[in-house]
Amino acid sequence: MAMPLTLRRSRALPATTRDDAVISLRGVSKWFGSNVILKDVTFDVPRGKITAILGPSGTGKSVLLKNIIGLLHPDEGEVLVDGEAIGSMSERDLFRVRRKFGVLFQDGALFGSMTLYENIAFPLREHTRTGERDIRAIVHRNAELVGLVDHLGKLPGEVSGGMKKRAGLARAMVLDPEIVLFDEPDSGLDPVRVAYLDELVVTAQRETGATFFIIPHNIPSVMRTADHLGLLFRSRLIRFGPKDAMCASDDPVIRQFLSGTTEGPIGMDEMADGGDGTRPAAGRDTTTLDRSGSAPFLTGGTTSRS
Ligand SMILES: Nc1ncnc2c1ncn2[C@@H]1O[C@H](COP(=O)(O)OP(=O)(O)OP(=O)(O)O)[C@@H](O)[C@H]1O
Ligand SMILES: [Mg+2]
């Protein structure tokens, strides 16, 4: 029997491990040809919290996220998930680790010919042997969480941008992942819909206890959702820490970015902001995404719901 969502998803951790790292980056550098995208990036993503990574456009946030799930591989350094270095893993172990993730990619789209119901059910059908009755119950619980129960019969083309995002969120969470990664879930939405989506993200995180790793599109969203922040600029992680400490920082890049002004080191030229040097090596790019915005193995969770 499928357990009730709230029970199944509650992951109350002992106090001693509540703040431990679920994802650790150790000296991660990534370059494409002569273009240095990430340089010596080190930080720990605290378990069971919402972490946001910020940075100017083109600075490498999506590349960072793809390194975390092993769609791209660092040229130097390593990524650890639950203490396991994913770079040196066998395919089988990588598959096991990737099952911990639910992902909503920046360019992730719903299947246009499938109803919202079928879109949300898709990972369950693909990766589990869950029976129709349980699929129905799980899809409805997730749809309830994102306020889409009355729209499950609609096609993506028949609903608003905000509803599509919410359906993407429900799909990313349907396999009960331990870690949820969102790349700009708020892009293309008006400020009020963004505020609702943010509330949803916070509620979903609190209810599931999962670790949320978000690349937000705007500062109000950061303030509403994030527990911890990191800021990327010119390939480097300027700083990573609790939101309050980041907001109180004197660092001119952090101050400028969080206040969204033109006064400071961040200029108008994205190319100049994006990188800071050259490297003579070629990066490995193994990115292959399906139209759901997630490779099938990325949705994580358990094999059986029944
Ligand atoms: N597969 C790839 N091959 C070569 N270059 C790439 C690849 N993926 C990303 N890049 C380059 O890496 C840089 C960082 O890209 P990325 O998409 O991570 O930026 P971003 O911070 O997510 O930007 P945005 O805020 O606009 O989404 C860009 O210059 C981009 O062109
Ligand atoms: Mg991006």
The closest residue, in CA terms, to atom 5 on ligand 1 is 32
Predicted local confidence at residue 109, as pLDDT: 75
Mean pLDDT of 285-292: 33
pLDDT tens, 43-88?
Answer: 999 999 999 999 998 999 999 999 999 889 999 999 999 999 998 8
Q: Which amino acid is at 36?
A: V
Q: Which amino acid is at 40?
A: D
User: What are the backbone dihedrals phi and psi of residue 46, each rounded to the nearest 5 degrees, phi first?
Assistant: -65, 140
Predicted local confidence at residue 91, as pLDDT: 86
Buried b (16+ CB within 10 A) or exposed e, 238-255: bbbbebeebeebebebbb
Which is the closest atom of ligand 1 to the Cα of 64? Answer: 18
The closest residue, in CA terms, to atom 24 on ligand 1 is 57
pLDDT tens, 120-130?
Answer: 999 999 888 99
User: What are the backbone dihedrals phi and psi of residue 104, each rounded to the nearest 5 degrees, phi first?
Assistant: -120, 105
Residues, CB within 5 angstroms of ligand 2 (ion): 61-62, 106
Give distance in angstroms: CA of 34 to centre of ligand 2: 20
pLDDT above 70 for 41: yes
Predicted local confidence at residue 189, as pLDDT: 80
Contact predicate 246/258, CB 8 Å: yes
- CA distance linking residue 212 with residue 296, whole number of Å: 19
Q: What's the gap between Cα 260 and its chain centre?
A: 23
Pocket of ligand 1 (CB under 6 A): 32, 37, 55, 57-63, 106, 274, 285, 287
Map out the domains of the chain as residue ranges: 20-298
Give distance in angstroms: CA of 201 to centre of ligand 1: 25
3-state SS record for 54-103: ECCCCCCHHHHHHHHCCCECCCEEEEEECCEECCCCCHHHHHHHHCCEEE
pLDDT band at 98 (very low <50, low <70, confident <90, very high): confident
Pocket probe for ligand 1: among 29, 62, 217, the residue whose CB has the most ligand atoms within 8 Å is 62
**Protein fold of 20-298:** Rossmann fold (3.40.50)
The closest residue, in CA terms, to atom 4 on ligand 1 is 32
pLDDT band at 273 (very low <50, low <70, confident <90, very high): low
Q: Is 245 helix (H, G, I), strand (E, B) or coil?
A: helix
What's the whole-model pTM score?
A: 0.81
The closest residue, in CA terms, to atom 1 on ligand 1 is 285
